[in-house]
Every structure is written in C-alpha cells, then in structure tokens.
Amino acid sequence: MMTSTPQPLPLRDTSARYGRVTRLLHWTVAALILWQFLGMAIKLTLGRGPVSGFFVGLHQPVGALLFVLIALRVVWALLNRRRRPDHGAGLVGTAARLGHLALYALMLVVPLLALLRAWGAERAFAPLGVEIFPARELPVEWAVKLAGALHGELAWLLLVLILGHVVMVGVHQAMWRDGTLARMAGRGRRQPRSVAPPST
C-alpha cells in the first residue's frame, strides 16, 4: 500500500514553494503591517487616549523594524529570484508580477519616508532607546514637509494593494484551485512512501 509523507520545508525557495526564510519574513512583515494599520485605525476611531496612545507610541519603533525586515526581504528575494515559484504566463501572470513589484516598492518607500521625516525633525529619533538620528536645533523643512505629505497617503495606497493581494489569493484558492496559498503557507507537495499493509 502507498501513502504519502510531506517533504521537509527547504531553507531557500524552490520552483514549487517558498522556503523557510521567505515565509518567516513574509508573515512577520504581514503581522507588523497589520499592527501599524490597526493602530492608525484605532487612533482615527477613538481619537487621543490611552489605547491609541499605546499604538502611536510604538508606531515609529515598529516602522523602523519593518524597514529593516523589508530591506532583508528584498535582498533575499533577489538572491532567490531564479528559484522562486513562477507567477505564470499571460495577462494574469504579468499583473501578478507588477502587483508584487508595486507592493515591494511601497513597503520600502512608506517607512523610508517616515525615516526621512524623523531625520529632518527637531526631536531625536531613538526607537527602543537606540539613537539613530540626534536632535536638531532647527528642522530640515523640505524633508519634514515631503515626508509628511506622502507618508500617510502612500500608506493607504499600500493598504489597498494589500487588500487586492489578499482578494487575489482567495480567487486562486477558491476558484482556480492552483495551490497558490500552499506555496507560502502549506506543507508542500507530498511524496509517496511505501507502508506495509496491516496484518490480519
């Protein structure tokens, strides 16, 4: 009798699925981005208060951590670009590639703008007690204004792309049933294994 056993998840990506490092970066970044948007939603809904203050107080440190993780994710994606699962051919494949490029670009630009604003601000920027930018006597006006004008708007655009990404994963999973979700979250393909039949 034949049964199946899951293949061990590789460290690096393969043409069939994403590896451990990619998955760890993907889901960690996803969780932190969700935290950031949850905090902003609470602030917009409840206004100033202890709950929103807790989230707002962590917004910059979490954003700085996100920037580091996203930069690592981009580097890792480039190192694995010839090993990763293909997005497919035709219009759907092209749209998927462009969508992922836009996601990566915004995931880098949004926290980068926040760092630019922190660099140009008068106050020191020291997330988790580690000083990155010292205090200034006068702000760098162009940096503060540019980042202030674009950071929030591009963040909401990023949220729209993320929602579109989630919807398309649902379409792949529920309608096309092509195993897209399993590439990032599943246990991978199974290999047959011989098992002795039970004794009678």
Whichever domain contains 179, its CATH number is 1.20.950
pTM: 0.87
Residue 186 has pLDDT above 80, yes or no: no
The pLDDT confidence band at residue 168, using thresholds 50, 70 and 90, is: very high
Considering the domain boundaries, does residue 152 fall inside one? Answer: yes
| pLDDT tops 60 at residue 171 | yes
Does the structure show a pLDDT above 60 at 188?
Answer: no
Q: What is the residue range of 176's domain?
A: 7-190
Residue 74: band (very low, low, confident or very high) from pLDDT cuts 50, 70, 90? very high
**Can you tell me the distance from the alpha carbon of 143 to that of 149, in angstroms, rounded to the nearest whole number?**
10
Q: Is the pLDDT of residue 191 over 50?
A: no
Q: Cα angle vertex 199, ends 194, 200, to 5°? A: 140
What is the SS3 assignment for 16?
Answer: coil
Name the pLDDT band for 194 (thresholds 50, 70, 90).
Answer: very low
Question: Does some domain include residue 198?
Answer: no
Domain count across the chain: 1
Q: Which of 97, 81, 85, 83 is nearest to 17 (CA)?
A: 85
Share of the chain above pLDDT 70, in %: 90
Q: Is residue 60 part of a domain?
A: yes
Identify which of 81-85, 160-164, 179-183 has the greatest average pLDDT: 160-164
Residue 4: count other Cβ atoms within 10 Å of its Cβ. Answer: 11
User: In the prediction, which pLDDT does 8 show?
Assistant: 87
Domain-located, residue 170 = yes
